[in-house]
Amino acid sequence: MKTNRRNFLKTSATTALGLSGLTVISPSVLGKPMGYVAPSDKVNLACVGIGNRGNQIIKALAATGLCNIVALCDVDMGAPQTLEVINMFPKAKHFQDFRVMFDKMGNEFEAISVATPDFSHFPVTMMGLKSGKHVYVEKPMARTFREVELMIQAAKKYPKLATQMGNQGHSEANYFQFKAWKEAGIIKDIYAVTAHMNNPRRWHGWDPNITSYPAAESIPSTLDWDVWTAQAEPHAYNKDYHNGQWRCWYDFGMGALGDWGAHTMDTVHEFLDLGLPYEVNPTLLKGHNPFFYPMSTTLEFKFPERGDMPALTLSWYDGVDNIPPVPAGYGVSEVDPNIPATNQGQVQPAKLNPGKIIYGKDLTFKGGSHGSTLSIIPEEKAKEMESMLPEVPESPSNHFANFLKACKGEEKTRSPFEIAGPLSQVFCLGVMAQWTGLKLEFDRETKQITNNPLANQVLAGMPPRKGWEEYYTL
């Protein structure tokens, strides 16, 4: 099968990248209502990872009216969380192994969505790009610095393919406001940013003093645990690795930082041109252990001067008891109606929802997560500045429509790998600091940790499991 798949990758990539010169007839000419998109003019989409978060992503992609869901793939096609999606798209073909899906119907779709656990984003994405497919992948892009780097390079190698990381707020109001305020000189001379996530979303009550991984349990009859494990170091099945809990383990996920950083740091990172830090310092690690992420973490990411922008320290706070300091006149962090209620909740004493505080020489801003807009604080200063604020354009498309329109050549994605990759690598470096418990010094040019040889070696990740090496070659 491997030989056939390699041959398929070569031929399908050539075919997919060579399509051009198609004539599209206006729907109004055919008597169809404006806004109607004929099935033949929609993007044929294969979805890998269809339970839990994947369930939501597929519904959002389908709701755009711009795609045909032609294939559904999940390691557990019999689980309750996948059956709803299967029933929604009865014409879609079913697979339990994404490699089989590519082999059997790779010429029947142009794009893929990837909503598997963090660690397994990488092989699916790499196979997609090598096969000439546009790729939408959930955040963070991958679990290790090297894997993200290879995904960035693959996207450069196939520039006609659209890539999009799933930090959905990067197509909403905050994206356009931050861009407009930065260009107008409202956001300037930023020297410090605090990003915070202090609610217990998906958090666990495990004992940080554990001395081994959880004991083996019986694998559910409908689950292919071998494919779930993908290129990662093998672990015997345990329910505490599955259905969201994988996020908590170093071997599988990226903790609260990888989960929420892309929803709070994304516009700061892009529009302040942060790139990669030169130092990451863990100043608090409560419940530090070598198996799963600390119960509370504070990290300091230091970035150098960039052009006329000053050096900047970005501080990350997570944990229900690790509330960051807030400036005078902060007010209250309101609940964002655009974020599901289960993903937020005010934390005492500061009543903070997930978000950020941005400190400039002249102005201070507060903001939430995802697409939440910024406010100038205190309120008196906001009123003083009101007449100076530029007009902010509305988003022409949400994150899902933006991706599908990019597949059709109608827009450019707002979170392509060239933008989302370095942001994801910031998270990878933060995770390394959490795991080692040590300050890490990083060379932004060579992309190496310079003060800790072991950490630098682990930065690339463990060697892939036997049989999964091909995804690490461009």
Domain limits, the chain = 2-170+402-419
Sorting pLDDT into bands at 50, 70 and 90, what band is 350?
very low
Mean pLDDT (the chain) is 89
**Distance separating the N- and C-terminal Cα atoms of the chain:** 20
**Tokens 């697979």 belong to residue:** 95
Determine the pLDDT at residue 332: 75
Determine the pLDDT at residue 138: 97
Determine the pLDDT at residue 46: 98
- Give the 3-state DSSP-derived string for 12-26, with helices as H, strands as E and coil as C: HHHHHHCCCCCCCCC
pLDDT at 342 over 50: no
Determine the pLDDT at residue 14: 42
Sorting pLDDT into bands at 50, 70 and 90, what band is 45?
very high
pLDDT at 457 over 70: yes
**Dihedral of the CA atoms 349, 351, 353, 355 (nearest 10)?**
-80
Phi, psi dihedrals of residue 21, rounded to the nearest 5°: 75, 20
Determine the pLDDT at residue 339: 57
Cβ atoms within 10 Å, residue 54 = 23
Single-letter amino acid, residue 355: G
pLDDT at 200 over 80: no
Of the candidates 112, 114, 85, 79, the one whose C-alpha atom is nearest the C-alpha of residue 12 is 112
d(CA 372, CA 264): 9
Single-letter amino acid, residue 82: T
Angle of helix 417-436 versus helix 145-157 axis, rounded to 10: 170
Determine the average pLDDT of the residues in 220-249.
Answer: 94
Determine the pLDDT at residue 320: 86
Determine the average pLDDT of the residues in 211-220.
Answer: 95
CATH code assigned to 2-170+402-419: 3.40.50.720
- Token pair, residue 317, equals 């706070």
pLDDT in tens, 430-443: 999 999 999 999 99
Q: How far apart, in Å, are the Cα atoms of 422 and each of 120, 128, 140, 155? A: 19, 20, 11, 13
Determine the average pLDDT of the residues in 416-421.
Answer: 98
- Token pair, residue 469, equals 């090496």
What secondary structure does DSSP assign to 80-121, as a single string?
HHHHHHHHH-TTSEEES-HHHHHHHHGGG-SEEEE-S-GGGH
Q: Could you give the 3-state DSSP secondary structure of residue 135? A: strand
Of the candidates 447, 449, 456, the one whose C-alpha atom is nearest the C-alpha of residue 149 is 447
Determine the pLDDT at residue 193: 98
Determine the pLDDT at residue 201: 59
Determine the pLDDT at residue 175: 98
- Token pair, residue 195, equals 């990003």
Determine the pLDDT at residue 38: 72
- More confident site: 166 or 243: 166
Give Cβ neighbours of residue 88 (< 8 Å, ≥ 6 apart): 58, 59, 62
pLDDT at 337 over 90: no
Sorting pLDDT into bands at 50, 70 and 90, what band is 151?
very high
pLDDT at 286 over 90: yes
pLDDT at 53 over 50: yes
Of the candidates 12, 45, 17, the one whose C-alpha atom is nearest the C-alpha of residue 158 is 17
Determine the average pLDDT of the residues in 8-23.
Answer: 41
- Token pair, residue 277, equals 């830090």
